Amino acid sequence: MIKAIKGTNDILPEEIVEWNYLINVVQKKMQLFNYKEIRTPIFEHTALFSRGIGESTDIVSKEMYSFTDRSENNVTLKPEMTASVVRAFIEHSLGKQSGLNKLFYISPMFRQERPQAGRLRQFHQFGIEAIGSHNPMLDAEVIQVAFEILRNVGLEDLTVTINSLGIPEERAKFSAALKNFIEDRKSKLSEDSQRRLDTNVLRILDSKDRNDQNLLKEAPSILDFLGNESLEHFENVKALLKSAEIPFTVEPKLVRGLDYYTHTTFEITSTKVGSQSALCGGGRYNLLVEQLEGPSTPAVGFAAGIERILLACKSEQAFTPAKEEIDIYLIRLDNQLEKKTFEMASLFRGNNLKVELDYSTRSVKAQMREANKYNARFVVFIGGEEFGNGQIQIKNMQTGDQTLLSIKDLEKILQIVK
């Protein structure tokens, strides 16, 4: 039997209810903050991601689903949206049409990581890219949108962590100092971190290895390398978050796994989803548009993992989506009346009522059980003596009340069931 590919999930109808609940909260919040939806293709030229995200990142160096198509194009299933949105922004000159583009997306992403709870190879993100302003209000707004969505779906166990990576010159000085600090302790570091010393020294700060973390306690802090402008930007973001009553902690080791960040970085984590604790991450990327050959344009954004959020919701029992129900279940008393039942279903459905009926030849008792299973608000009996006289029995499943009405008196029927 052919099974689904490892690290991919089917989302079954019962789970869709939770997905739609979350997506509904996302769409409402995006509307409130005036973000417009953007959709980009599932695959792009590989160069977009290798240049955008950075060659030495884990995503580009070992996680991308890349292949050569029949026309010898190197293409990649998108591992994230920021590079794609920036490409679309440049390609369609969105910056010329409007000074500030506040965009949001909901989309599948692909990364060949080792699958585990909360870590998939096809997963889904919703997120924001706000392109066109340096203003720290936008950094704070992006964090606020992410935080409020998570709060609105009912999550309470949330930690917001923020940091600033400043500008490249400041980061270069910090990287050199960090390298110096680490060189002396190199032999004690994990193999992964030793490798990163030459490829991407900042990512060592992200190491999950306990021993590495201990060694890094005394490491220099990026915040000591920021110039006045970067510090002022960071202070402004913090003040705005405070005014929005968003609790946060500053973590100078928060460097994130993508190379494009400048200034603000942030993550929102939950202790309820095991080791894959980041529900959401993002930050400012003032140089990416230029790096992808667009006009110099500052930007900030975030992305959140839908599967991880739903795991956290389950574990916190954060929400119980409303139980599904139908308006009418049609109970056929006589199997000769299939055509009539079909016509009644069409009539009610044509009047915007959610109707279900029996597609086999179940007994009346079994049909009643089906009606209960579907949480039918009403059942309508098709058949019997009254039906021959042009009348139907309507039963209110909550009160048990039965009403006999003429089929022709549609207005009255609708009054009762609506």
In the complex, the residues that contact ligand HAM under the rule CB under 6 A are 80-82, 111, 113, 118-120, 123, 125, 127, 129, 257-258, 278-283, 285, 301-305, 307-308
240 or 392, CB closer to ligand HAM? 240
- 154 in helix, strand or coil? coil
Q: Which is nearer to ligand HAM, 273 or 331 (CB)?
A: 273
- By beta-carbon proximity to ligand HAM, the closer residue of 138 and 215 is 138
**Minimum distance between the CB of residue 194 and ligand HAM, rounded to whole angstroms?**
23
Closest CA relative to residue 100, chosen from 68, 129, 59, 62: 129
> Minimal distance in Å, beta carbon 335 to ligand HAM?
50
- Pairing assessment for the beta strands 66-68 and 36-37 based on DSSP bridges: unpaired
Cβ proximity to ligand HAM: between 127 and 383 the closer is 127
Neighbours of 273 (CB within 10 A): 25
**Residue 196: partners with Cβ closer than 8 Å, 6 or more residues away:** 203, 204
Is the CB of residue 82 less than 8 Å from the CB of residue 129?
yes
Residue type, 127: G
Inter-CA distances, 365 with 32, 264, 358, 392, 399, Å: 49, 64, 12, 18, 19
Least spacing, CB of residue 292 vs ligand HAM, in Å? 14
Q: Which is nearer to ligand HAM, 110 or 378 (CB)?
A: 110
CA–CA distance, 21 with 15 (Å, rounded to integer):
10
**Angstrom distance (rounded) from CA 288 to CA 292:** 6
C-beta closer to ligand HAM: residue 277 or 351: 277
* Nearest distance from C-beta of residue 158 to ligand HAM, angstroms: 13
CB of 49 to ligand HAM, least distance (A): 11
C-beta separation of 55 from 260 below 8 A: no
Residue closer to ligand HAM by CB (options 118, 220) is 118
Is residue 42 within 8 Å of residue 105, measured between CB atoms?
no
State the residue number with the nearest CB to ligand HAM: 305
Least separation in angstroms between residue 262's CB and ligand HAM is: 11
**Considering only CA atoms, which of 287, 257, 278 is closest in space to residue 125?**
278
Q: Between residues 153 and 413, which has the closer beta carbon with respect to ligand HAM? A: 153
356 forms bridges with which residues in the sheet?
329
For residue 373, give both structure tokens.
Answer: 């299973």
Least distance from C-beta 276 to ligand HAM, angstroms? 7
- How many whole angstroms separate alpha carbon 393 and alpha carbon 371? 15
3-state secondary structure of 399: coil
Least distance between ligand HAM and beta carbon 142 (Å) = 8
Pick 204 or 280: Cβ nearer ligand HAM: 280
| Least Cβ distance, residue 81 to ligand HAM (angstroms) | 6
- The 8-class DSSP code of residue 257 comes to S
